[in-house]
Amino acid sequence: MKVTAVDQLHLEALDGVLICAGTEDMGSEVLAPIMRHAKSKELFSGKIGETYMTTIFHEGHCLEVGLVGIGTPDTFNITKLRKGLSEGFKALKNKKVATIGVDLKAIEGGFPVDKRLVRLLSSLWDMANYEFNAYKTDAKPSTVESVALFGLEMDEVAFNEGILMGDANVFSRTLTNMPANIMTPAKLAELAEARCLDAGVEVEILDEQAIEALGMHAYMAVAKASANPPRLIVMRYRGNTDSEEVLAYVGKGLTYDSGGLSIKPTASMINMKDDMGGASAVISAISTIAKLGLKINVTAIVAACENMISGTSYKPGDIISSMGGKSIYIGNTDAEGRLTLVDAVTYAIEHEKATKVIDIATLTGAALHCLGNDAAPVISNNDDLYNLVEKAFTKVDEKVWRMPIFDEYKALVKHDQADLTNSAGSPGTITAGIFIGEFVKDVPWVHIDIAGTAYREKAEGVYSKGGTGSGALPLVMLAKKMAK
């Protein structure tokens, strides 16, 4: 699907049109009667995010028309605008249109128009168009061939960045949505390599023998029960050879999580293909950072594996070692993601010389209880880095909220038989993050738990049911903000 910015909308060449309208502004001359009619019947008022759909006969052909409310400059909200535009787009798509024009002219008068808005507007169409139906034998491709945006001065760089970001989000969602019988650690490594090499990112893939040789014992404790062997995926982008600074992105890569011997109930296992949402985010992010040519050095690391059950499973009550040298008491084999992450974080610091570390993971069910599906809880040892992360999330219309690290919480991850326990109890989102923090030494670090934001049970706004691509675009924006 092609997305462009145009100087004029030619309605006779379109199948569908979306018109932004405020509570006062009646918009285009040709379509003003529709808005007057909708307002007079109280079918549409122009409030932010509101939509109204109809069909008219124009210049010899039927034209599907959608009105999208933008409210007033005081009530304008980018999240609601994106949702309204996305819902309007999906309604037109359901009517089998091929060419869509989007009249944004009403936003010009007193509304905040900046690069952020341009990026979000150019990225949302691929995101709203996305459906995961590759395994349906009767699946039909989207009829939408093009979307033309009119009425706003579009910063060309920001517009093109948005196009790349839309593609990054869709790729991340696809990785997350692929079923676990197909998306094995080896398959994830294969797809990551293809994506990254195409973008000019160096890729190194280590097998189980190489992982063992590195002393990644915590990672291998989780991986060893599966018939599908683990793969450590290391992706390196060097956009600033004048600097020794390296930003490391570490993504949780559990391509399937049964819970191990602490097995999950069936209902909780169904969507465990999404336990590599952090991996899909960092793979998409680093490949997009490379496509943008940002002047920054980034290494992305995924310790990919499955948490399964066999005679070689690790067990509750075991004490295992780690690449970082700390011993770990296993209180629950379903607290496996943090075990893979601590070895991946140690690898990033010791072997990749990371000077800043961001880890992102579908780590705890408790994250959902903390903030629901709309925001990711975060903990950090560095105020400056956290503030950059928060701003990066805001730039792409995603949300985070910082959680506290009190000494009382730090004490919970200690154990009387080992250095640490992988199951420290409530508050589970915080103690899981603190556990990872035990391995970052004094390196500035941010931990992002996307367990609540990585997957949606129903389609809404720019998102379809399934993986959301949570975190991928903020990681791109973070690198952009930090680039020299």
Contact 151, 85 (CB under 8 A): no
Task: For residue 119, indicate whether it is catalytic.
Answer: no
CA 216 to chain centre: 27
Contact 188, 203 (CB under 8 A): no
Q: Read out DSSP for 11-48?
A: GGG-SEEEEEEESS----TTTHHHHHHHHHTTS----T
- CB-based contacts of 437: which residues, under 8 Å, 6+ apart? 379, 381, 405, 445, 447
Contact 127, 172 (CB under 8 A): no
Residue 408 tokens read as 């009382």
- At residue 65, what is the residue type? V
User: Distance (Å, rounded) from C-alpha 343 to C-alpha 361?
Assistant: 14
Catalytic site residue from 83, 93, 231, 338: 338
Burial 197-214 (b: 16+ CB within 10 A, else e): eebebebebbebeebbeb
First to last CA, the chain: 33
- At residue 289, what is the residue type? I
User: Strand, helix or coil at 255?
Assistant: strand
Contact 288, 164 (CB under 8 A): yes
Catalytic site residue from 264, 295, 326, 480: 264
Residue 259 tokens read as 């819970």
Task: For residue 264, indicate whether it is catalytic.
Answer: yes
Residues marked active site are found at 264, 338
